[in-house]
Amino acid sequence: IITGGKVRSESVANALKVLPNDIDFVLVHDAARAFTPIDVARRVLTALHEGEQAVVPAVDVVDTIKAVDSSGYVSATPDRDTLRAIQTPQGFTREVLVAAHATGRDATDDAALVANLGVRVKIVAGHALARKITTADDLLWARELVVHS
């Protein structure tokens, strides 16, 4: 058990400092995605074992996404066929993840830190149950899932 940081990247960096030397792959998972099926982690690990350096699970984006300017006006509509909603666990070779955190940057996920190094991030299939529980509606969804399981 390690002490978390003020932001996600600090927490991961703290964990990397105490990771045993014989660990080759690191999975970073959000506790807020408590219902993620184990098969998602297996897909991430399989891709790492096949030679990928960075792997993230993802699901298709079904809503139309809009970029919005600072005045609240739509500035662009990205092609949703090129978009994915990224989930966890995100997997990395230890070497790549340590290098990404050594930059001292912060990001919303570790894949962004790794991509900033120029490392390609591979997508594998995520799962609808890997939903991030952050809002009151998410919590209601989680309660319903538990009650009806």
Give the pTM: 0.91
Strands 54-60 and 67-68: unpaired
Dihedral-angle region of residue 70 (phi above 0 means left; psi in -120 to 50 means alpha; beta otherwise)? alpha
pLDDT tens by residue, 22-59:
999 999 999 999 999 999 999 999 999 999 999 999 99
Q: Go through the domains of the chain in sequence order and give each one's CATH number.
A: 8-29+40-127 (3.90.550.10)
pLDDT tens by residue, 4-20:
888 888 899 999 999 99
pLDDT score of 55: 99
Cα 9 to its chain centre, rounded Å, is 12
pLDDT above 80 for 114: yes
Q: Are 117 and 99 in contact (CB under 8 A)?
A: yes
